[in-house]
A and B are shown apart, each in its own frame.
Chain A
Amino acid sequence: MNRDSNGYTFGFAAAMVLVVASVLAFTASSLKDLQSENVRKEKMQNILSTIGIETDREGAEVLFNQYITEQLALKNDGSIDASVDAFSDVKLSFELKKDAQDQRFPLYVASVDANQYYIIPLRGSGLWDAIWGYIALDNDRNTIKGAVFDHKGETAGLGAEITQQWFMDRFVGEKIFNTSGDLVGISVSKTNNDPNDTDKDDHEVDAISGATITGDGVSDMIIERLQHYLPYLKATSADLAYNN
């Protein structure tokens, strides 16, 4: 057979595309359940870790159902949209593309040892790609109980360090409202002058050298996401305990 003829070339290309496409499609669809199960459990694991409950991926589901008492999908005005399941229906990557009034804002309420925690999912942009995470507010809806961050493609050793425990620990105890009750969020700051983050009233954490853009992304993501929860936080708590 003439391997240089046009017919053979076209035939080979067509056969190759068919074979490759079916092999890949078969693998992708047969592994899909396992993969999305991993992603789902990791999400539970991340949510739990913001309130200080560390678990492996396998144990996440049981603990999640035990501690997370409410999963709310909020509208822009702070009311609850009961028709939407916050955990599985709301994908922030899609929600962020909508107008604010069409978005649903997921909120997880956890109760651990009679303490209520409010866990807010975050998503924004880093230097190269998306960054996301969860932030847990204490009972006063002001102090941060814990934060967890993750990223898609930040630089290893620099921006990717936002996933390190020491960076996430810096947020613990910081306040998102200032003393006059305005939402200020938390800034990842290069001029913090507080490398150990002992000052918990400055609304700032120390930035990572060489990760300026990723750090700014974290700051922007926190304030942008939190502001949508203001109506809910104000409505459910008449005496929001500001910075005290």
Chain B
Amino acid sequence: MSQPKSNKKPAIFFVSKESEPLFSKKNRALLKDPLDDNNPITVQVLGICSALAITVQLKPAVVMTLSVIAVMGASNVIVSILRNAIPNRIRIIVQLVVVASMVILVDQVLRAFAYDVSKQLSIFIGLIITNCIVMGRLEAFALGNGVWKSFLDGVGNAAGYGFMLILVAFFRELLGSGKLYGYQVIPDALYEMGYENNGLMLLSPMALITLGLIIWVQRARNRKLIEKN
């Protein structure tokens, strides 16, 4: 419920006051950690709902990744700028409004200037608002950190989310439709020999199972994730 103490400083509109290089080790960690050690999907198990919904094909997964990066980067920056002005009791509503407005802005701009992309996104763009990762990062990070760090954190987490999305979509499209990014990759000869696409891969349960397998591989590989008990 309480915000970190560092918030006592006046609103900071620029890079944090500590004279820290833009890509110091700590800042790079903000970008890098969510990709593996602290992945929002496989480690924090956030944003699972959209990970199931839009990983049938690679293309929507890629477009969704780009949109989430844009929305998270921007909303983290906005909330970070406002973090010393936001009243504590309505902060969740404020975050929601910021995220929702960013999503609507992205949607409107796409519709005007990249109509085909916006058609592909259609319902997915609305799903960004419901993505727990976006709100999670605003609440856990942007409310207590400077603008530049919040930006890195937003982009890093969105990239970690998108990386998993694309990985799951890769397997589901390959095994479910024999295609990648809409192009057929499994040769016709294989189908003539009796190979069949696995229709189950197109349905949501297989996204969960694929994700489970990815988590298994990741935990076996990454020592930091092995639980001690």
Contact = CB atoms under 8 A, between A and B. Distances in A.
Q: A and B: partners?
A: yes
Interface of A: 3-4, 8-9, 12-13, 16-17, 20, 23-24, 27-28, 31, 34-35, 38, 42, 57, 152-153, 155-158, 209-210
B105 A16 contact: no
10 tightest A-B contacts by CB? Answer: A157-B56, A34-B112, A31-B112, A38-B115, A9-B87, A153-B123, A157-B202, A156-B56, A35-B111, A20-B101
Interface of B: 54, 56-57, 60, 85-90, 93-94, 97, 101, 104-105, 108-109, 111-113, 115, 122-123, 173, 176-177, 199, 202-203
15 contacts: A3-B86, A4-B87, A9-B90, A12-B86, A13-B93, A23-B101, A35-B108, A38-B115, A57-B115, A152-B122, A153-B123, A157-B56, A157-B57, A157-B173, A157-B202
Nearest to A152: B122
A12 B87 contact: yes
B87 A158 contact: no
B60 to A, nearest CB: 6
A9 B86 CA distance: 8
Nearest to A155: B56
A12 B97 CA distance: 12
A38 B108 contact: no
A8 B113 CA distance: 39
- Main DSSP-derived SS at the A contact region: helix
Contacts of A35: 108, 111-112, 115
A210 B199 contact: yes
Given A3-B87, A157-B56, A157-B57, 8 more contacts: A9-B87, A17-B97, A35-B112, A57-B115, A153-B123, A156-B60, A157-B173, A157-B176
Contacts of A153: 122-123
Given A3-B87, A153-B123, A157-B177, A24 B101 contact: yes
B18 to A, nearest CB: 24
B40 to A, nearest CB: 22
